Amino acid sequence: MNAAAVCKSGLSFEGTAGSGFRIPLGAAADVGGAEDGFRPMELMALGLAGCTAMDVISILRKKQQAVTAFEVRVEGERAVEHPKVFTRIVVEYRVRGHGIDPQAVDRAVTLSRDKYCPAQGMLAKVVPIEHRVVTEQDPPRD
């Protein structure tokens, strides 16, 4: 597993990873950046979102849940002083589908948190992570 950040100019970098994808990395104007890419801590939050999202959707499909829309939102609060670590993270799972069983979603979220998700396996040791689940039911199918 590898990744690299290559400086283009100022605080603007190109991020690459072993999978072959590329991404712009940048900083906010108030710290001298050009606002021209993902902030590094956004990538940490997005890694967490993607990591647990893949767990949960996989488990829901194994549980035969008819999911029609699914997303995971991550909000992180940060310390005011350096280093501006996350001090609290909220992970919200939004599941939509036909006859979704909220208990199945809760179990999937718990399995990701406690067993499968490496991002949570690391971050949960250093910052409180709160989980929220929002389920929406689609109209019954004919």
Is residue 105 a contact residue for a copy of itself (CB under 8 A)? no
Place of tokens 């589908």: 97
List 107, 127, 131, 135, residue binding a copy of itself (CB under 8 A): 127
Size of the site for a copy of itself (CB under 8 A): 71
Site string for a copy of itself, 50-69 (x = CB under 8 A): xx-xx--xx--------x-x
Is residue 84 a contact residue for a copy of itself (CB under 8 A)? yes
List 23, 34, 104, 133, residue binding a copy of itself (CB under 8 A): 23
Between 83 and 142, CB nearer to a copy of itself: 83
State the Cα angle at 36 between 82 and 42, rounded to 5°: 45
Place of tokens 């929002």: 134
Please list the residues that pair with 10 across neighbouring strands.
none
Between 63 and 73, CB nearer to a copy of itself: 73
Report how far residue 45's alpha carbon sits from residue 92's, in angstroms, rounded to the nearest whole number: 12
Which backbone phi and psi does 28 adopt, to 5 degrees? -70, 155
List 26, 59, 97, 109, residue binding a copy of itself (CB under 8 A): 26
We find the least distance from the C-beta atom of residue 121 to a copy of itself, in angstroms, to be 4
Closest CA to 95 of 83, 85, 106: 106
What would the two tokens of residue 103 be? 């208990």
